[in-house]
């Protein structure tokens, strides 16, 4: 597929098979596990430091469906610049891609998984949208050196296109970053639900410091019909 358009660096978008698994693991650890807002809030909990996340990160890369996931690589240097991990879900075969997050030794990650679970609540996209196959756009991470060049937006666009080709009729995303929410609106997503961190399972957990969180800090359940 073609480049995103406005990138200053020449980025090649490709399948995860075309990248090195170790580099993808480094990227998810250094971008998502380090900077994602919920994991950041849980940093003081057991297993909350960046490197503590590596074991579940390793598992989560392969628990996703690579046929609807996408990688961004710096065409000049071959550096893995970004990744978007997605999975498909049907009524008969619900996604299990995020299970490694709930089953890890890292308390910080288990708390994050619990927050995402609470955000999803009893929302059933099959029932709510009347569809039978959904793309779960679970994890986007872009290397710090490559941010603000439209890479995450293009990765998502390409995953949506792959999902459409495979018969998905909708996309679901839990967005914990205000930047992601802004980007998803650009792609046509609508907000179904919002859960502030201060009203979630994180509130009352001693090592989670929510003092810097306002009512707009939290996670949004966002959906798009394809």
Ligand X SMILES: CC(C)(COP(=O)(O)OP(=O)(O)OC[C@H]1O[C@@H](n2cnc3c(N)ncnc32)[C@H](O)[C@@H]1OP(=O)(O)O)[C@@H](O)C(=O)NCCC(=O)NCCS
Binding site for ligand X (CB under 6 A): 31-32, 35-36, 140-142, 147-153, 175-177, 179-180, 182-183
Q: For residues 99 and 59, give the distance between their C-alpha atoms in angstroms, rounded to a whole number.
A: 9
Q: For residues 136 and 89, give the distance between their C-alpha atoms in angstroms, rounded to a whole number.
A: 7
Q: For residues 202 and 38, give the distance between their C-alpha atoms in angstroms, rounded to a whole number.
A: 9
φ/ψ of residue 67, rounded to 5: -75, -15
Q: Pick between residue 49 and residue 90 the one whose CB is nearest to ligand X.
A: 49
| Residue 41, helix vs strand vs coil | helix
Give me the least distance between CB of 42 and ligand X, in Å please: 14
Q: For residues 32 and 174, give the distance between their C-alpha atoms in angstroms, rounded to a whole number.
A: 14
Q: Pick between residue 168 and residue 175 the one whose CB is nearest to ligand X.
A: 175
Give me the least distance between CB of 148 and ligand X, in Å please: 5
β-strands 170-175, 133-142: how paired?
Answer: parallel
Give me the least distance between CB of 154 and ligand X, in Å please: 7
Q: Pick between residue 92 and residue 106 the one whose CB is nearest to ligand X.
A: 106
Q: Pick between residue 148 and residue 211 the one whose CB is nearest to ligand X.
A: 148
Give me the least distance between CB of 167 and ligand X, in Å please: 25
Give me the least distance between CB of 132 and ligand X, in Å please: 26
Q: Pick between residue 35 and residue 132 the one whose CB is nearest to ligand X.
A: 35
> Please, are residues 189 and 135 in contact by the beta-carbon 8 Å criterion?
no
């Amino acid at each position: 597929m073609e480049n995103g358009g406005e990138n200053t660096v020449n980025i090649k978008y490709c399948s995860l098979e075309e990248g090195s698994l170790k580099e993808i693991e480094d990227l998810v650890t250094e971008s998502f596990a380090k900077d994602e807002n919920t994991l950041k809030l849980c940093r003081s909990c057991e297993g909350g430091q960046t490197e503590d996340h590596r074991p579940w990160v390793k598992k989560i890369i392969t628990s996703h469906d690579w046929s609807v996931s996408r990688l961004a690589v710096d065409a000049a240097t071959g550096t893995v610049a970004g990744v978007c991990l997605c999975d498909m879900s049907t009524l008969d075969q619900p996604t299990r891609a995020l299970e490694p997050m709930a089953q890890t030794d890292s308390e910080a990650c288990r708390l994050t998984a619990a927050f995402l679970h609470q955000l999803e609540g009893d929302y059933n996209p099959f029932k709510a949208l009347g569809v039978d196959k959904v793309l779960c756009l679970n994890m986007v991470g872009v290397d710090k050196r490559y941010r603000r060049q439209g890479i995450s937006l293009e990765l998502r666009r390409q995953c949506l296109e792959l999902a459409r080709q495979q018969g998905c009729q909708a996309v679901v995303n839990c967005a914990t970053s205000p930047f992601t929410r802004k980007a998803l609106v650009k792609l046509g997503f609508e907000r179904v639900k919002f859960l502030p961190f201060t009203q979630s399972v994180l509130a009352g957990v001693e090592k989670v410091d929510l003092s810097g969180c306002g009512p707009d800090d939290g996670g949004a359940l966002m959906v798009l019909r394809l």
